[in-house]
Amino acid sequence: MTLYGFLFYVLAAVVTASTAVAVTRRNLVHAVVYLIFSYFGTAMLFYLLGAPLLAALEVIIYAGAVMVLFLFVVMMIRVEASGEHFFPLSQWIPAALFSLVYLAAGSVLMLAAPGTEIPLKMLTAAPRDFGLYVLQNHWFFIEVISLLLLVALIGALQLGRKQEGLSREEEG
């Protein structure tokens, strides 16, 4: 096993473990902080798999912006921490059984597919080349994405404003 392979397995273990911990936390702040760890690990995985620009974007957008947005919402609102209950065990067993069958079948399929057992070569898409490629071949979708973000911005603003009007009507 090469150094890069070793790094991949270490990062994969950290990402999986921190995500699993985050998913099972009852405290929302703890869950969000564990997910930030997970996203940092994912960014390093992206770098390892030859996508340095995406690694930077993952840290900036996911670990930076999205998770901070979650933290804001969690801290803005007092959530009763212990009110949540998980499903009873009798409902867990069939679900876990089916999931295990699918996991086994999926693993066999992925490991047995031809051509996937050869270790991948290290290759890096330089940020400049990647940016040029995206803007030359997918410029239209970049515009669509910017429109989508604008619509999301307007929608979020509208949702925030409409609520005030509603509560005033209810008071009056």
Partner 1 sequence: MIVPFSHILLLAGVLFSLGMFCALARRNLIMIVLGIEIMLNGASIAFVGSALHWQQLEGQAFVLFILAVAAAEVSLGLAILLHAFRRTGSFDPEAYNSLK
**Token code pair at residue 8:** 């991949």
- To the nearest 10 degrees (0 to 180), the angle between helices 139-171 and 127-137 is 80
Neighbours of 42 (CB within 10 A): 22
125 burial class (0-12, 13-18, 19+ CB within 10 angstroms)?
middle
Size of the site for partner 1 (CB under 8 A): 82
- The length of the chain in residues reads 172
Closest separation in Å from C-beta 83 to partner 1: 7
Of residues 96 through 155, those in contact with partner 1 by CB under 8 A are 99, 103, 106-107, 110-111, 113, 115-123, 125, 129-130, 133-134, 137-138, 141, 145, 148-149, 151-153, 155
Under 8 Å CB-to-CB from 93, ≥6 apart: which residues?
A: none
Q: Is 27 in the site for partner 1 (CB under 8 A)?
A: no
Closest separation in Å from C-beta 42 to partner 1: 6
Under 8 Å CB-to-CB from 82, ≥6 apart: which residues?
A: 26
Among 84, 89, 128, 172, binds partner 1 (CB under 8 A): 84
Closest separation in Å from C-beta 81 to partner 1: 10
Among 23, 75, 97, 101, binds partner 1 (CB under 8 A): 23
Q: Is 89 in the site for partner 1 (CB under 8 A)?
A: no
Among 36, 40, 42, 44, binds partner 1 (CB under 8 A): 42
Q: Which is nearer to partner 1, 121 or 172 (CB)?
A: 121
Q: Which is nearer to partner 1, 97 or 149 (CB)?
A: 149
**Token code pair at residue 29:** 């702040």
Q: Is 56 in the site for partner 1 (CB under 8 A)?
A: no
In degrees to the nearest 10, what's the CA dihedral of 7, 12, 13, 18? 130
Per DSSP, the three-state class of 21 is: helix
Closest separation in Å from C-beta 33 to partner 1: 12
**Token code pair at residue 83:** 């009110």
Q: Is 93 in the site for partner 1 (CB under 8 A)?
A: no
